[in-house]
Amino acid sequence: MNNNITTIAFDADDTLWVNEPYFQEVEKEFCVLLEDYLPQHSVSQELFTTEMQNLHLYGYGVKGFMLCMIETISRISNGTASMQLINKTIDLGHQLLQKPIELLEGVTETLDSLKGKYRLVVATKGDILDQERKLKKSGLQNYFHHIEIMSDKKNSDYQKLLKHLDCEPSNFLMLGNSLKSDILPVLEIGGFAAHIPYHVTWTHEQHDHNLKHDNFTELERIDEILKHLSC
C-alpha cells in the first residue's frame, strides 16, 4: 500500500453496517404478497426489472425501492391490485426505513486506529435522508471529516469527490464491498482500493471478475486494512 495515502474513504452499506440483508428480507415478504399473481421467484425477477428501468430516475435507496414495488404490483396485476395490497407494500418500505443499525465486525476498532492519522470520509450511494439517518444512528459521524452521499459511483463521481477534497488519486484509498461501485472506478482514476466482500450482494452490484491491479488489495475483514497502512 502506498505510504502517501492521506485520505481514506469508506462505503457505508454492507461495509460499515448491515444493509442488503434487510432489503432481501423485505423483498421476500413482498414476493409472498404477490404469489396470487406470479410465483415468488418470478415476482422477484419482475421487481428487479422495474428497478433497473427506473434506476436513472430514482437512484439508489429505500424510497426508489418502494416506488418500484408499487409499480411492479400495478404491472403484474394489470392494475387490478387492491389498495390493501398497496398499503401493505408501503408498510414494508416503512419497516425498511426503521431498521436498526448493526455495525459490522471490526468497524469501530478500525476507525479508532485511523482517526487523527488520516482524513476519513464516507462515500456512499443512496437516499440522502435515509443515509443521514443511518449515519446518525450508527454513532460513527464524529470519525469523519466529510460525508459524501453520491447519486452514483462512476469515475466522474469520484473525480468530483477528489476535487472537493483537494486530494490527488495517488493519495486516496477507498474501502468497500462492491467491486463495481467501490473498487473499479477508483482504480481507473489512479487511486487505491481495498475490497471487503460481504456475504450478500445486490444483483446489480455483483461483478464476477478476478481482479489484479497494483493498487488493489483484497481483505476478509475491515480491520485487516491496518496491516497495509502506516498506523
Q: How far apart are CA 37 and CA 85, in angstroms?
A: 12
Q: Which three cell numbers stand for residue 32?
A: 409472498
**How does residue 211 score in pLDDT terms, banded at 50, 70 and 90?**
confident
**How does residue 208 score in pLDDT terms, banded at 50, 70 and 90?**
low
Look at 42-46, 85-89, 148-152 and tell me which has the smallest mean pLDDT: 148-152
> Collapsing DSSP states into helix, strand and coil, what is residue 226?
helix
Q: What is the pLDDT of residue 59?
A: 81
**How does residue 54 score in pLDDT terms, banded at 50, 70 and 90?**
very high
> Is the pLDDT score of 231 beyond 80?
no
- Cβ pair 205, 181 in contact under 8 A: yes
| pLDDT tens digits along 24-52 | 999 999 999 999 999 999 999 999 999 99
Q: How far apart are CA 217 and CA 229, in angstroms?
A: 12
Dump the DSSP string for 177-200.
S-IIIIIHHHHHTT-EEEE---S-
Q: How far apart are CA 189 and CA 131, in angstroms?
A: 26
Q: How far apart are CA 168 and CA 142, in angstroms?
A: 24
Q: How far apart are CA 106 and CA 225, in angstroms?
A: 11
State mean pLDDT over 96-111: 95
> Is the pLDDT score of 190 beyond 90?
yes
> Is the pLDDT score of 136 beyond 60?
yes
- Nearest CA-CA partner of 126 in 222, 7, 11: 11
In whole numbers, what is the pLDDT of the chain averaged over residues? Answer: 91
Q: What is the pTM of this model?
A: 0.88
**How does residue 2 score in pLDDT terms, banded at 50, 70 and 90?**
low
- Nearest CA-CA partner of 178 in 6, 2, 19: 19
Question: What percent of the chain stands above pLDDT 70?
Answer: 94
- Cβ pair 96, 65 in contact under 8 A: yes
> Collapsing DSSP states into helix, strand and coil, what is residue 108?
helix
Cross-strand partners of 17: 13, 103
Q: What is the pLDDT of residue 107?
A: 98
Q: How far apart are CA 172 and CA 190, in angstroms?
A: 9
> What is the chain's percent helix, strand, coil content, to nearest 5?
50, 15, 35
Q: What is the pLDDT of residue 117?
A: 95
**How does residue 202 score in pLDDT terms, banded at 50, 70 and 90?**
very low
Residues in CB range of 113: below 8 A, 6 or more apart? 223, 226, 231
